[in-house]
């Protein structure tokens, strides 16, 4: 069930009305409704994989209790590693087995050995990377004595499978979401209106910006050999806005939907394309994943407290693993390694935390230095996205080679004035609202009501005009 579908437009109001007008007298009844609704939401993708979600939930719930009740450190460790290995095993089989099998066969072929590897033909379960990480963080936190296990299965299952975040995040922590699941929730009109506003903004980003950019980016990337350098640059730019508006649009819809039910999810994006360096970009892009890897991988490895070698090693580990998390393709690993190379000079010169606040806070425009820093960071990001989008590393280098040719200065062969204008309007709205949780969170409220509602109606009209594409969200494949 897509957020941008008629099915979800029917599903959400029904659950909302049942939640607040039928089940509002008892918290546990509300949580049962959320759990049933979440399982129905997931089953709409492919009911055959619902058992995998349920099994993962039961496994982590049970091992959490067994770790808490373990009579010795050895038994606690046994249950901990059982959960970790099973969860990672499922993820490895469904997402990475074919990649490793094919890579191994290719490696042997270079040595002159030809083998036929056995691969599995199975659809990747939607959201497996996200709900697996929910469970892993829960189990790790219990093992490290940061939290106590949840003994109410329904409450824990809602934490894992709450439908707004189930298939594409944000990646929640038990310390943040579980207390909200267990706490009585009272309808707040102001929060509900704010949630609807954020849903509208997310739909605008997805349907109006991302889906239109996707058509142009797909045309150019899929036939890159046929286009000149300037057109390839346009393709990279279109994909840059596609992936941001697609994924952050999903996150906005998820956060807004959760707010309708009195729940606050973790923020996942904070205007990353206005970053002044790569370190700031990664503090603002896919925040829930970046902080997950920081807390559960980077810091346990020693973080940046050791010598130069440890800093370099840990930086490459965190970025390469982050790239690999996105998919079983060398392009994602190269993308992660490239970002590690971008990040290292800042880390080694202790400048990776220079830009912690939003750019040009309280000002209309950035300084000249800030503008060029943003432009440089954005350009590096666009270049890295070429590897992320390409079907193979070879294809990515061919694409880049096509850019850096004499045809770079020729007129683009594929572009759309209307889409470029929409991107310009989008960037203006993002810049004006960059000090808030999302672009139209607060600044529009300062407008007169007529102007504010005119903005909303324009967005609704644009969504209606471009709503026929119905493309899936990019991060469903991860």
Dist CA 333 CA 325 (whole Å): 9
DSSP-assigned letter for residue 308: H
Q: Cβ–Cβ contacts within 10 Å for residue 27, how many?
A: 15
127: left (phi over 0), alpha (psi -120 to 50) or beta: left
Q: Among 105-109, 137-141, 180-184, 202-206, which is the least confidently predicted range?
A: 105-109
8-state DSSP, 306? S
User: How does pLDDT run across 251-309, given as a tens digit for each residue?
Assistant: 999 999 999 999 999 999 999 999 999 999 999 999 999 999 999 999 998 887 878 88
Query: In the structure, what pLDDT confidence band is assigned to residue 4 with cuts at 50, 70 and 90?
Result: confident
CA 439/CA 232 separation, integer angstroms: 29
User: What is the distance between the alpha carbons of residues 40 and 56, in angstroms, rounded to a whole number?
Assistant: 17
Residue 448 pLDDT level (bands cut at 50, 70, 90): confident
Dist CA 433 CA 438 (whole Å) = 7
On the 0-12 / 13-18 / 19+ scale of CB atoms within 10 A, 348 is middle
Q: How far is CA 57 from CA 54, 62, 147, 475, in A?
A: 5, 9, 17, 22
Q: What pTM was computed for the model?
A: 0.92
Q: Which residue has tokens 């683009």? A: 412
430: phi then psi, degrees, rounded to nearest 5: -60, -45
Active site residues: 326
Instruction: Name the residue with higher pLDDT: 153 or 169.
Output: 153
Share of the chain above pLDDT 90, in %: 73
Helices H / strands E in the chain, number of each: 19, 0
Per-residue pLDDT for 73 more than 70?
Answer: yes
Q: How far apart are CA 136 and CA 296, in angstroms?
A: 9
Helix (H) or strand (E) holding 15: helix 6-17
pLDDT digits over 212-249, tens only?
Answer: 999 999 999 999 999 999 999 999 999 999 999 999 99
Q: Where are the beta strands (DSSP E) in 403-448?
A: none
Element spanning 465, H or E: helix 449-465
């Amino acid at each position: 069930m897509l957020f941008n579908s008629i099915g979800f437009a029917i599903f959400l109001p029904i659950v909302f009305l049942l939640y607040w007008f039928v089940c509002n007298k008892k918290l546990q009844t509300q949580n049962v409704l959320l759990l049933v609704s979440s399982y129905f939401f997931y089953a709409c993708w492919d009911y055959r994989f619902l058992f995998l979600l349920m099994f993962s939930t039961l496994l982590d719930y049970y091992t959490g209790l067994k770790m808490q009740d373990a009579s010795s450190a050895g038994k606690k460790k046994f249950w901990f590693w059982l959960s970790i290995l099973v969860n990672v095993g499922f993820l490895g089989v469904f997402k990475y087995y074919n990649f490793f099998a094919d890579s191994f066969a290719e490696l042997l072929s270079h040595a002159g050995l030809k083998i036929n590897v056995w691969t599995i033909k199975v659809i990747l379960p939607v959201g497996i990377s996200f709900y697996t990480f929910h469970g892993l963080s829960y189990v790790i936190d219990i093992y490290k004595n940061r939290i106590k296990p949840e003994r109410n299965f329904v409450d824990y299952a809602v934490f894992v499978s709450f439908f707004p975040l189930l298939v594409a995040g944000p990646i929640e922590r038990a310390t943040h979401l579980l207390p909200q699941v267990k706490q009585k929730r009272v309808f707040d009109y102001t929060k509900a209106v704010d949630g609807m506003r954020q849903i509208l903004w997310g739909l605008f980003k997805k349907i109006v910006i991302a889906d239109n950019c996707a058509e142009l980016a797909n045309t150019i990337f899929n036939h890159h050999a046929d286009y000149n350098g300037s057109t390839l640059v346009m393709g990279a730019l279109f994909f840059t806005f596609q992936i941001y508006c697609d994924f952050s649009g999903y996150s906005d819809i998820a956060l807004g939907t959760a707010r309708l039910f009195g729940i606050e999810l973790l923020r996942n994006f904070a205007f990353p394309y206005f970053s002044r360096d790569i370190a700031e970009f990664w503090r603002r892009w896919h925040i829930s994943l970046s902080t997950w890897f920081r807390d559960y991988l980077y810091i346990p490895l020693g973080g940046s407290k050791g010598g130069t070698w440890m800093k370099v090693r840990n930086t490459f580990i965190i970025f390469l693993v982050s790239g690999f998390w996105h998919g079983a393709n060398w392009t994602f690993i190269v993308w992660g390694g490239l970002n590690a190379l971008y990040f290292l000079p800042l880390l080694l010169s202790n400048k990776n935390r220079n830009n912690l606040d939003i750019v040009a806070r309280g000002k209309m425009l950035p300084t000249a230095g800030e503008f060029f820093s943003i432009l440089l960071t954005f350009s590096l990001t666009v270049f890295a996205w070429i590897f992320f989008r390409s079907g193979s590393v070879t294809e990515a280098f061919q694409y880049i080679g096509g850019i850096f040719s004499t045809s770079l200065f020729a007129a683009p062969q594929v572009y759309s004035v209307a889409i470029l204008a929409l991107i310009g309007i989008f960037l203006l709205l993002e810049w004006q609202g960059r000090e808030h949780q999302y672009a139209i969170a607060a600044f529009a409220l300062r407008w007169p009501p007529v102007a504010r509602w005119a903005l909303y109606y324009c967005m609704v009209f644009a969504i209606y005009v471009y709503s026929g594409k119905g493309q899936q969200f990019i991060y469903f494949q991860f």
